[in-house]
Amino acid sequence: MLRAVDYIRARSWCFRKMWLKLLIWLTALIQLLAGAPSELLGKIFGGETASIADYPFLVNIRRGKQFRCGGALISPRCVLTAAHCLERRHQQVHDLFVHAQQQCLDDPTPETHLRQAWFAWVPPKYQPGRSLDADLAVIILRQPFDKSANASTVPVDFNDLPEGANLTVIGWGMTSNEDHNWNQCLQATNVSLVPQCDCVQQMGKYLPVTNNMFCALGANSTDACAGDSGGPLLHAGRSAGIVSWGYGCGSGLPGVNTRLSSSAMTWFLKSFLEQHC
Ligand SMILES: *[C@@H]1O[C@H](CO)[C@@H](O)[C@H](O)[C@H]1NC(C)=O
Ligand SMILES: *[C@@H]1O[C@H](CO)[C@@H](O)[C@H](O)[C@H]1NC(C)=O
Ligand SMILES: *[C@@H]1O[C@H](CO)[C@@H](O)[C@H](O)[C@H]1NC(C)=O
Ligand SMILES: *[C@@H]1O[C@H](CO)[C@@H](O)[C@H](O)[C@H]1NC(C)=O
């Protein structure tokens, strides 16, 4: 009985969300084409509640207090996220904060779990007026997280994903003006790698799909969606991608992610890690 009620509620939410997402994506695309700052925030769709304890490297990124995106600690002082999360303000990071170990976005963050950004780097290839190619950013923190914060780091998978690879995507959903206080606790879902030709065919009509991107989609396409923008796509305990963009949520179309195994992304990230992280 309860399950059925939940199911119906989930479904109606599903469809309401789908239209909302279509609208949000459309707005984002229009802004993108107009060259205005874009807000391309995805959301875990039809996922399950996840425990932050299982993903101790996962952080959320805020401007002031406002939640913006997910991210992953790739070293105690470096956060990997999507470039569009910085909204073309990667040179203005004084109000950019990183929260670790939060289960829900409203949970209090003790000082050990909070860090201020010091510097952010976006690849020169990232040209948001034209596309979302090379949608990757690294944020260096003023102070690294220390062990007492229980934060850990996630290794980056620079290898090409095997065909049909199973990935996990995690995030808090968004709490923007369009979507206040909604689903603010951590969620996870499993998705699979979509062949690149299908990715280009299905998503290329919205924005160019480049070699620095890959698509992924969950088993129940109506329920699956990309996770929070900036969050990692995990493959066998490593981060193989970054949630980047999509069209609608639960629309059956795959989510598009930054591909860390492309030569351009690998080269950038490896040299950056060596020098700064
Ligand atoms: C770290 O994790 C342990 C075990 O889960 C917990 O007891 C402790 O409070 C955590 N410390 C912080 C600073 O979150
Ligand atoms: C992904 O998971 C499914 C279901 O568990 C399994 O059948 C499939 O072989 C997995 N794919 C890969 C590439 O491991
Ligand atoms: C994802 O797949 C793993 C391994 O098959 C499973 O243990 C986990 O429960 C799945 N998570 C979700 C959110 O479906
Ligand atoms: C997909 O949906 C069906 C029907 O609702 C359900 O039985 C199945 O477990 C779902 N699969 C996943 C991977 O969530």
Q: Is 6 annotated in the active site?
A: no
Is 229 marked active-site?
yes
Q: What mean pLDDT comes out for the span 73-82?
A: 97
Closest listed ligand to the CA of 227: 3
H-state helical runs in the chain: 2-34, 196-203, 263-276
Q: Provide the CB-side half-sphere exposure for 175 (13 A, CA).
A: 19
Element (H, E) at 258: strand 255-259
User: What does the pLDDT average to over 32-60?
Assistant: 66
Listed in order, the ranges of the chain carrying CATH 2.40.10.10 are 56-153+265-274, 155-261
Convert the pLDDT of each residue in 103-125 to its tens digit: 998 899 999 999 999 999 999 99
- The catalytically annotated residue of 135, 157, 228, 262 is 135
Reported as a single tens digit per residue, the pLDDT across 146-175 is 877 888 999 999 999 999 999 999 988 753
Tell me which DSSP letter residue 204 carries: T
Lining ligand 2 with CB less than 6 A are 162, 164-166
Ligand 2 test: best mutation among 157, 166, 234, most atoms within 8 Å of CB?
166
Tell me, yes or no, if 198 is annotated catalytic: no
CATH of domain 155-261: 2.40.10.10
Task: Write the pLDDT tens digit of every residue in 205-245.
Answer: 989 999 999 999 988 764 445 447 899 999 999 999 999 98
Of the pLDDT bands very low, low, confident and very high (cuts 50, 70, 90), residue 143 is very high
Ligand 3 centre and the CA of 19: distance in Å? Answer: 27
Q: Which atom of ligand 4 is nearest to the CA of 220?
A: 1
In CATH, what class is 56-153+265-274? mainly beta
If you average pLDDT over residues 136-152, what whole number do you get?
92
Tokens 């205005």, residue? 36
Query: What is the average pLDDT value for the chain, to the nearest integer?
Result: 80
Please list, in sequence order, all residues whose beta carbon lies within 8 angstroms of the beta carbon of residue 134, skipping any fewer than 6 positions away. Answer: 83, 123, 125, 126, 210, 212, 258, 264, 265, 268
Question: Which is catalytic among the residues 229, 239, 244, 262?
Answer: 229
Nearest Cα residue to atom 2 of ligand 2: 166
Task: Give the amino acid at 119.
Answer: F
Q: Would you place residue 188 in the very low, low, confident or very high pLDDT band (cuts 50, 70, 90)?
A: confident
Q: Is ligand 4 within 6 A of the CB of residue 220?
A: yes
Distance 217 CA to ligand 4 centre (A): 14
Confidence of residue 45 (pLDDT cuts 50, 70, 90): low
